[in-house]
Amino acid sequence: MNISLVGRQVDFTEPIKEYINNSIETLSKYNLDIISVTVIASKQDTKRKHGVTIEFTINLAAKNTIVIKQRDDELYAAVDLAIDRAQKALRRLHDREVDHHRVGINETKAEHISTSDIKDEYEKLEDEIVPLELDLYKPREAAEVLEELKESDKQFEIFIDNDGKTRVLYKRNDGRFGLY
C-alpha cells in the first residue's frame, strides 16, 4: 500500500506522519486490496472558516475510489474522524463482498442433483399423480346431498341440481349449512 502525505499550509512533523500512517494501517484489516492512500491536509484561516480540512483518497483494486473529507479545529481530531468514516466505508464494502459471494441456489442444486437424478425425481413425481375418472352425476336434490354431507367428514359437496346448475353445499363455522 502506497501512502502519500500532502500538506497545504500544514507542516507534517514526524509524530503527525507516524500517527497518520498508523491510522491508515488499521484499514488493512478489511482484506480489501488497497493500492494507495493519499492524504491531503489543508489549513483554512478565513473570516468564516477556521481549522484543518483533511482528505483521504483510498484507491482500491477493481473497485471505486473512496474519497473522504473531514474538517475540524485540530489536525488529530480531523484525522480520527476521517479514519472512522473510512473504516465504516471499507467495512460496508467488505460486508457486501462477503455476502454476495455466498453460494446461490443454482450452484447448490448442481451439487446435489445430477442429470440422472433429475430424471429419477421426475419419474417419482409422475408416479405420485393418480388420474381420476369422473363419474357422470345425475341431478340430485339438495336434501339428499345435505344428508350425505352430515354423515361425512367433508366440508363441502359439489353437485348438479334438477335445473342443471352446478351447486355447492358447505358447512359453515356456526354449524349450519350454506348453499351456493
Q: Is residue 57 part of a domain?
A: yes
Q: How far apart are CA 98 and CA 102, in angstroms?
A: 7
Domain extent for 162: 142-179
Together in a domain, 96 and 147: no
CA 117 from chain center: how many Å?
A: 31
The count of domains in the chain is: 2
Q: The pTM is what?
A: 0.52
Domain limit, last residue, from 69, 100, 131: 100
Q: Tell me the pLDDT tens digit for each residue of 113-160.
A: 555 566 676 676 665 666 665 555 678 888 888 998 888 888 888 888
Q: Tell me the pLDDT tens digit for each residue of 41-87.
A: 998 877 777 889 999 999 888 888 889 999 988 888 999 999 999 99
